[in-house]
Structure 1
Amino acid sequence: MAVNTQTWWQQGRVVETSDLAEGVRRVVLAPDRPVHAAPGTHVDLRLDLAGHVRKRSYSVVRSEDGGRRLTLGVQLAPSSRGGSRHMHGLAPGDVVEMTGPVQSFPLGVGADRYVLVAGGIGVTALVAMADALRRRGADYTLVLAGRRRAVMAYLGELVEVHGDRVRVFVDDEDVRLDVAELVGEIAGSPAAARTEMYMCGPIRLMDAIRRAWVSHELPEPNLRFETFGSSGAWAAEDFVVHLPQLDRSVRVGKDSSMLDALEDAGVDVMWDCRKGECGICQVKVLDVSGRIDHRDVFLSQQQKETYASLCLCVARAARGDSADADAAEPAAVTLHLP
């Protein structure tokens, strides 16, 4: 069951679509009840995916004409559970069910310096922030990291608009983002304690930044993030969830989340963000056959390593690099639900 549903549900009409980059689609929605979307907001959509209604969240890249036009940027994920494929198939005239703007990643006011870090499609959460900081005349840096330039949405536009405030790191050009160096620069600056960092991207990138931030004893409230919870240590695979208290076992397909599979099986579970951020869906782990691929930003690294609990919305079980990785049996996790 949902703990919190944001604002209202309404219809949104697709008014424009176009390609932003290789595998990234621009979708412009016109909501029935327009409200301006501030930087850091997203909208939730209800999508019919293979006969199941699923909620998916997408950052608002731009809000124009008082919210009458909301631009989203959607990457076609290789491990898509259907949401990104559905979004890439939308065309002008199509109608989706959507919320008003949801604010869970607000841009602060009053910091001496701002550092925005985008990994891959995480840039969609930061475009509006960079534009707002530019209008304010703030001191800011926008860090863009990606595998190849061809897949980096908004890259050319952001460089053109923000000039030398943009730092670009591209893996296949052998110019990779050094997290330790980036955070070290912040820690060594006179404005270290008054610098705010906003980051959005793959879990592993954000975990690395969090570890570096803590190791330099920078103020933890100054590190803010949003995640899409879709990347992990191993590729998604089928696994089994055992629920002894209900005397049930549920198979989770590689294209489904644990939370979705349990709900489809009629198991009542608590959730809110569905992105691995809030911890509402955290449950106790009793046993694991294989490895747990956590994929959340709620649990600490120490908590993840103990395998004591997981977040149902993004965590997966995987054979990974464990001793039974080549076994015929799928990985399994035994849980105790609250």
Structure 2
Amino acid sequence: MITSRDDVWQKADVIAVDEVADRIRRIVLRPELPRPALPGEHIDVLATVNGEPQVRSYSVVEAPDNGGQLVITVFRTPESRGGSEFMHSLEQGQVLRITKPLQNFPLRVGAPSYVLLAGGIGITAIAGMAALLRRLGADYRLVYVARSRAAMAYLDDLAAVHGDRFEAHIDDEGGSLDVQALVAGVPVHTELYMCGPIRLMDAVRRTWADRGLDRTNLRYETFGNSGWFDAEPFVVRIPRLGVEAAVGSGESMLEALEREGVDMMSDCRKGECGLCQVKVLGLAGRIDHRDVFYSDRQKASDSSMCCCVSRAVTAAPPTTSGDRPAVLTIEVP
């Protein structure tokens, strides 16, 4: 099922494709119905995954004035559900179906100061915010975190543009980010915007809460596919409907259930809105909660989960090819 809020699907020409970092591709699109894009906005793209149309979301990194172009940047992830593979297969001259720019991660202009935190490909949601704050003369820090320099898109350009307001933390160069120190140095009324993997996001959220800072000043967007465990196949059952589905490591539980004809409610498909949450009736294994919708207490209870991103995993790492997959029994609304 393909849904995308109140937006209008339109054609977009692929006018340029470039490699900007390791497994990271910059894609320039020209929509047939162009309009300006604001910092934090994204577009939905209709990708072909295993022969079927699937909606994928990508942050708008740039929206140049010339010709109403939109620039997105896509990481080809080993945990891909097929979207990034499709996007990396695109070539100049192809035509996509996309939406207008959509806003789930707005930047509030007028805060006393800002910290912008990007983990890996999360820079795609943050770079436009930094550019706007620089133009406005705002007080901001741009913090860019990644495992390696080769995997950091736009690193040199960001360093050159933002100067001493920019800092990079690179794990394999011994410069890992100290989350405790970062949050400890945030002035009380500062707004922190972040986008990155779930482990980084959780660490910042916990430290922010421990310090007693205003929760409304911490704003974030997640990848929707990063978790605490490697994705592995599992089985999901809905006894009331007589449904049993095998969920592959490269697809979400939501997609697997839709494939089996289950009428599911969903919207963001990134673990943010909670519309796709299901009740957990039984579990052989454990749940890898990959959402940012539930609190830590709610996740610890394992009574429900966001099926667009969260998964079931075996209780311990598999040791032989004959190990049985995790089995999840749920009820849907």
Match status 1:196 vs 2:196: no
Counterpart residue identity of residue 283, structure 1: V
Deviations 1:113-150 (A, max 9, x none): 00000000000001110000000000000000000001
* Partner in structure 2 of residue 206 of structure 1: 201
1:156-199 deviations in Å (ceiling 9; x for gaps): 1000000010111000011110111111111xx3xx1x210100
Structure 2 stretches lacking a partner, 5+ long: none
CA distance in 1, matches of 2:301, 2:76: 33
Distance 1:67 1:115, change over 3 A: farther
Q: How far apart, CA to CA, are the structure 1 residues paired with 2:305 and 2:237? A: 14
8 Å contact kept, 2:4–2:44:
no
Aligned with 1:221 (options 216, 219, 233) = 216
1:320/1:166 Cα in 2 relative to 1: closer, same or farther (>3 Å)?
Answer: farther
Aligned partner of 2:237 among 238, 242, 254 = 242
Which position in structure 1 is the counterpart of 2:300? 305
For residue 40 of structure 2, what is the aligned residue in structure 1?
40
Distance 1:195 1:331 in 2: 43
C-alpha spacing 1:52/1:4, structure 2 compared with 1 (3 Å): closer
Q: Does 1:166 align with 2:166?
A: yes
Aligned to 2:249: 254
The equivalences for 1:137-176 within 5 A come to 137-176=137-176
Aligned to 1:266: 261
Match of 1:314 among 303, 309, 313: 309
The answer for unaligned runs of 5 or more in structure 1 is none
Identify the residue that residue 280 of structure 1 maps to in structure 2: 275
Structure 1 residue 6: Cα displacement: 3.7
Aligned partners of 1:220, 1:66: CA distance in 2, in Å? 39
User: Which residue pairs with 2:129 in the alignment?
Assistant: 129
In the alignment, is residue 328 of structure 1 matched against residue 290 of structure 2? Answer: no
The structural deviation recorded for 1:328 is: 2.0
Residues of 2 paired with 1:67 and 1:219: CA distance? 41
TM-fit CA distance, 1:255: 0.9
Q: Output the CA distance in 2 between the equivalents of 1:204 and 1:69.
A: 33
> Using the alignment, how far apart are the partners of 1:212 and 1:280 within structure 2?
27
Match of 2:95 in 1: 95
Kindly state the Cα deviation for residue 66 of structure 1 after the two structures are TM-superposed. Answer: 6.8
Residue 49 in structure 1 maps to residue 44 in structure 2: no
Partners in 1 of 2:300 and 2:232 — Cα distance? 20
Q: Which AA in structure 1 matches 2:289? A: H
2:28 is matched with 28
Question: How many angstroms apart in 2 are the aligned matches of 1:225 and 1:131?
Answer: 18
Q: Residues 325, 246 of structure 1: CA spacing in aligned structure 2 closer, same or farther, 3 A cutoff?
A: farther
Match of 2:236, SS? strand
My pick for the range that moved more, 54-63 or 325-334, is: 325-334
Structure 2 counterpart of 1:116:
116
Q: Match of 1:126, SS?
A: helix
Q: Tell me if the contact between 2:234 and 2:325 (Cα under 8 Å) persists in the aligned partners.
A: yes
| TM-score, structure 1 normalization | 0.95
Shift of 1:305: 1.1
Q: Counterpart of 1:64 in 2: which secondary structure? A: coil
Does the 8 A contact of 2:2 with 2:54 survive in 1? no
Structure 1 ranges of 4+ moved more than 3 A: 1-4, 324-327
Counterpart contact for 1:2–1:271, Cα < 8 Å? no
* 3-state secondary structure, aligned to 2:300: helix
Change (3 A) 1:100 1:3: closer
Q: Distance in 2 between matches of 1:203 and 1:315?
A: 11
Q: Does structure 2 retain, via aligned residues, the 8 Å contact 1:319–1:325?
A: no
1:230 to 218, 222, 225: 225
Q: CA deviation at 1:55?
A: 0.4
1-structure distance, mates of 2:39, 2:101: 10
Partner of 1:294: 289
Are residues 308 and 66 of structure 1, via their aligned partners in 2, closer, same or farther at CA, if it must alter by over 3 Å? farther
